[in-house]
């Protein structure tokens, strides 16, 4: 659940044009992807696992948002 919340709060929303974190706190949290060097992902398995989880969460969150928009259009 924390990974989903982090992904949601750091994703730019089309209706607002900003991230919820920026609107709520005035700044965006620094994500591991922002600070990790790409060559280090292969060195540290934990970093690689976390990146895979975040990528899956991001993909799943996009699917959920697309489904919600499609559902809202039908009403």
pLDDT tens-digit series, residues 39-55:
655 556 677 788 888 88
| Structural domain for 61, as ranges | 2-74
Dump strand ranges (E) for 1-75: none
Average the pLDDT over 16-35 and give the result: 81
Smallest Cα–Cα separation from 12: which of 34, 28, 32?
Answer: 28
Question: Per the structure, how many domains does the chain have?
Answer: 1
Does the predicted TM-score (pTM) go above 0.85?
A: no
pLDDT of residue 60: 92
pLDDT, mean over the chain: 81
Average the pLDDT over 11-34 and give the result: 82
């Amino acid at each position: 659940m924390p990974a989903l919340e982090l992904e949601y709060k750091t994703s730019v929303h089309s209706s607002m044009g900003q991230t919820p974190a920026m609107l709520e706190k005035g700044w965006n949290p620094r994500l591991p992807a922002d600070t990790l060097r790409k060559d280090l992902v292969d060195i540290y398995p934990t970093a690689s696992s976390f990146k895979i989880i975040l990528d899956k969460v991001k993909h799943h969150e996009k699917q959920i948002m697309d489904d919600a928009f499609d559902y809202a259009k039908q009403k």
